[in-house]
Chains A and B, each alone.
Chain A
Amino acid sequence: MEEKKLNLTLKIWRQAAPDAAGGFQEYKVYVSPDSSFLEMLDELNNELESQNLDPIAFESDCREGICGTCGLVINGHPHGPIPKIATCQLHMRHFKDGDTIWVEPFRAKAFPVIKDLMVDRSAFDRIMEAGGFISVNTGSVPDGNAIPIPKDIASEAMDSASCIGCGACVAACKNASAMLFVSAKVSQFALLPQGQPERYRRVQAMVKKMDELGFGACSNTYACEAECPKGISIKNIARMNREFIKAKVKTEEIDV
């Protein structure tokens, strides 16, 4: 696999601290097409370090597209121009020699920049803590096979559950809305029999928290679905809307 290396120009957002002013800096790199995007940044960082310069802060962990830690906006696309992958799965063979690549952090009021390309996505955890669970204590549970779950329901719940919490939906949405993320969790539990007891409480609590944290509202552009590395469907948002409206109309509990 002796492919020609690529000459690229990177325009990368540098910002020293949350309240510091940021701007783009230009870097020239010479990179193998087999290398991944983040490996290219690793190499660039090693280069910067050997010149005693501050390396570019960006986050990544599993580098397999499952932990949801990475997330850069590359040429305007969260996780880059190739659909259904996370930033760590983007390989340089998708770029051409001589390309200029713009790299920006996720931008949303609810995801403030920490440094360079690192953002604070803890708002997602706050939403999950508000209600994204099934209240069962360890031990007090029936046998795994006690409740049969139709295969299609289980796999639809699995599709919703495959969200990696990376925040690309928020980054892609012109309104910085978190509806795809929240709805994926609401859907997973709304579909499964185990989730029924808290079904209406959960959706109200999570939506309330989401609104408090400063995410925008959904305007159905479906950019989230297009950019989601796991292809989470906007059907989840529809389901959450339905659950929410039902919860407000049907239940007698007034304030959740």
Chain B
Amino acid sequence: MGWIANALNSSIGKKFIMALTGVCLLLFLIIHLINNLTLYGGPELFNTVVKNLEGIKPLVRVIELILVLIFVFHIYDAIRVWYGNKKARPINYKINASAENSTLFSRTMIWSGSIIFIFLVIHLRTFWVSFNLGHPLAQSHNYYEIVVQAFRDPVYSLFYVVAIILLGFHLKHGFQSAFQTFGWNNNKYFPMVRKLGDIYTYIMVIGFASIPIYFLFFYGGN
């Protein structure tokens, strides 16, 4: 089995893991967003959706475990690649013209990723822990109210929106980058991939960011 490790430890192998885990996360985000958008259907719909998920808890736990593994690989590999790449250029240029030959998004993946990671931890604390580990509102299945309370805090909402915008940066590069890494770059299809990636990114950013904005500014509450 050493050949698998060898392959995955090569420069292309590492990129392949990044891309593969990245694509899994892209798919996860779609499901996550659909779930979130049920908030717009009001407390009843949202609470029912969450309660239904409670019903298949063992399955959810397995999926969560897989997700964690995917995240861990994505992050571990990112750090490994980043560190290796730093070492490949021990002395930097005095004048750097990278802004003229590449996009900001592509050069800042490690930083947008790091902030997204911090966000992720806080985000899990706010919602996952509350939903799963005995928050009084969760026990009465009023998950909706947990969301309302969280987003009433302008600081939290602002942080959420900023993180989602950085997620957008990350996705804008990551989406097409994954295709490139898999080797799916072709004159006919790659421009479409890039476009699709942009559309995906806008949907994600607008979709996720609209929720705190909605609850902060437009939700009357009761």
Contact = CB atoms under 8 A, between A and B. Distances in A.
A41 interface: no
Contacts of A222: 101-102, 106
Interface residues of B, number: 46
A254 interface: yes
A223 B92 CA distance: 16
Candidate in B94, B109, B181 with the most chain A CB atoms within 10 angstroms:
B94
Contacts of B154: none
Contacts of B107: 174, 221
A168 B55 CA distance: 58
B102 A217 contact: no
A239 B181 CA distance: 9
Contacts of A239: 183, 185
Interface in A100-156: 102, 104, 107-110
B90 A240 contact: no
Nearest to A243: B183
A210 interface: yes
Contacts of A238: 179-185
Contact of B101 (A110, A177, A216, A227): A227
A223 B101 CA distance: 5
Interface in B81-101: 81, 84-85, 87-98, 100-101
Given A176-B89, A221-B103, A248 B3 contact: yes
A254 to B, nearest CB: 5
Contacts of B15: 217-219, 241
Interface string A192-203: 000000000000
B186 interface: yes
B184 to A, nearest CB: 7
Candidate in B12, B173, B186, B187 with the most chain A CB atoms within 10 angstroms:
B12
A76 B100 CA distance: 9
B95 A211 contact: no
Contact of A216 (B2, B10, B13, B89): B89
B140 interface: no
A244 B7 CA distance: 9
B98 A234 contact: no
Contacts of B6: 255
Contacts of A177: 11, 85, 88
Contacts of A210: 11
A234 B98 CA distance: 17
Given A227-B101, A241-B183, A75 B95 contact: yes
A221 B102 contact: yes
A219 B10 contact: no
A104 B12 contact: no
B46 interface: no
Given A176-B88, A211-B10, A219-B109, A242 B95 contact: no
A109 B88 contact: yes
B12 A207 contact: yes
Contacts of A235: 185-187, 190
Nearest to A13: B94
Interface of B: 2-3, 6-7, 10-16, 81, 84-85, 87-98, 100-103, 106-107, 109, 173, 176-177, 179-187, 190
Given A220-B180, A238-B183, 5 more contacts: A11-B94, A104-B93, A211-B11, A217-B81, A242-B183
